[in-house]
Amino acid sequence: MAAVQGDAAGGGGLREHLRAVFALDPQAPAAIANPGGHGWTHATWGALGEAAQAIEHILRERGVDRDAPIGWVARNRPAAVAAFAALVMNGRMVVPLRPKLTSATLREDLTAQRLQAVIGDEEDWADEGVVPAAANAGSLGISIGGVSPLKVALVPGLERIGAGPHRAPMPGYVLERLTSGTTGSPKRIAVHESVLIPSLQSSEHKSGGRGDELRLKTAPAMLLKPFSHAGGLFGLLLALYQARPMVLFERFDPQEWARAVQRHGVKSASLVPAMIRMIMDAGIEPSLLASLRAIRSGTAPLDPQLQCEFEARYGIPILVDYGAAEFIGGIAGWTLADHRRFSATKRRSVGRPRPDVQLKITSEDGEELPRGQCGVLHVKCDRFGPDWIRTNDLAVLDEDGFLFLHGRADDAINRGGFKILPEEVAAVLRRYPGVRDVAVVGRSDARLGEVPVAAIELVEGATPPEPAQLDAFLRKHLAAYMVPKEFHVVAALPRTASMKVSRPELRAMLGIS
């Protein structure tokens, strides 16, 4: 297996680094998938590279501006990996577009973004109304599909760039990240190469990678989070940066995931809390996960009880990470050393800040608070500039430097002047027998301004509890003003593509405007 000496990213930028990765061993498996559940197959590094070259040839031949943002329909498929590589390796900016969550999702993105060119899967272009929406936006259309071989072609009816107007050029930017959309429509955050490369290098160092020699890794990355989600997109880019093969999942199936872990001898995996619960509920055999040394979890709060039960059953430590919509590459997390020393006493923490990150907690008016007091979290890191950046998260820093999150400032419910943090209420309700998950939102109240309302998802077969039982249980653990005014048992909490609870959908489900 070939090796490249020196830090390619530091010497010539991200595109040169990725070109060096693709040249290491063109015959080696790169993107492994099980399309349609009909058996595992893979595309080699060489096949991905050839498809990427074909895409770039079309973009150049059709006159797409070098600095124009390019649409990329973000599916967890080998074809999408090739399209992503085509753009990044040629210095073009990637604009992730959401594949159909409903029939309208992609059409809405095409209309809103007005891009010179869009690359999508054959399946996406076949959806009703997608080609007309791209034509109305003036977008050139490129189709890519298959696995082995990958097929690249112009989309009939979208062979040339239309009149526009199109989005303005964005030189120096590598990609946009979509926020999770848990509190509203996803927002787009552009990421410059000067920010992205240090974040990749920081994550490489965190995972024990070496910067003096570039080799194809043997242990693959298990890419479960949707590429349209910021965590999924960074996971894809990090796998490419690390020269690591990828096992791609379009949807999470606990049994299929566990068999893939065993088949590939995976040592580390990243799971959101909902996936961890699904593994427990599915009764996955511990022997299937014997190769795992650690699991990283982020995106949403992890129930400490669930963490304890998982670690007791499988003997695998869960290392919680924390990132925020304003950042890429993460800002805090647990290490194995910290887990061994502090896991029993700091279960609710999301870990300590990365070595290049400073954190502080302030009051709403910006006054810095001492350790142990809850307030607004601020972050400072050279990767993102010289200034302190205010997040929307409420948090506590303890004397050992561990960070504890207490929800979002804009989720806080003001009940007659008393502030209620929904996650604190939900965390207690999850301890009630038979409760699988909980979300708490505020409902307008003529007398108190707002009151909390709880939506409860039960484990399969559990008997729905009476509201009076839940009320009495909560009053043993919480102040009276924190107890929800209403309890609603729902079949399933609505979730985003990243498996967070979608608060707008939940409010609509509960009839809350």
C-alpha span between 463 and 368 (Å, rounded):
47
Over range 269-276, report the average pLDDT: 90
Average confidence (pLDDT) over 491-497: 87
Structure tokens at 28: 């080696």
Contact status, residue 219 vs residue 39, Cβ threshold 8 Å: no
Domains along the chain? 4-206 (3.40.50.12780), 412-509 (3.30.300.30)
Calculate the average pLDDT of the chain. Answer: 88
Is pLDDT of 328 > 70?
yes
Q: At 160, list the tokens.
A: 């040339």
- pLDDT at position 269 over 50: yes
Can you give the pLDDT at residue 48?
96
Rounded Cα distance between 436 and 306, Å, is 10
Give the pLDDT mean for 442-447. 90
| Contact in structure between 107 and 130 (CB atoms under 8 Å) | yes
The Cα 393–Cα 407 span in angstroms is 6
Answer whether 498's CB lies under 8 Å from 270's CB.
Answer: no
Q: What's the gap between Cα 306 and its chain centre?
A: 21
pLDDT, position 513: 72
C-alpha separations of 234 from 218, 238, 375, 476 in Å: 20, 6, 29, 42
Q: Report d(CA 283, CA 252) in Å as an integer.
A: 15
Distance CA 325, CA 230 (A): 8
Read off the pLDDT of residues 181-240 as tens digits, 9 standing for 90 and up: 555 567 888 888 888 887 787 766 555 454 557 899 988 999 988 888 888 898 899 999
CA 127 to CA 433: how far, in whole Å? 44
Model confidence over 334-382: pLDDT tens digits? 999 999 999 999 988 999 999 889 999 999 888 999 999 999 999 998 8
State the pLDDT at residue 98. 85
Q: Which has more confidence, 231 or 27?
A: 27
Q: Containing H/E element for 33?
A: strand 29-33
Q: Which amino acid is at 318?
A: I
CA-CA-CA-CA torsion sign (417, 422, 428, 434): positive
Tell me what the mean pLDDT of segment 112-139 comes to: 95
Residue 500's pLDDT band, with cuts at 50, 70 and 90, is: confident
pLDDT at 107 > cutoff 60: yes
Buried b (16+ CB within 10 A) or exposed e, 157-192: ebeebbeeebbeebeebbbbbbbbbbbeebeeeebe
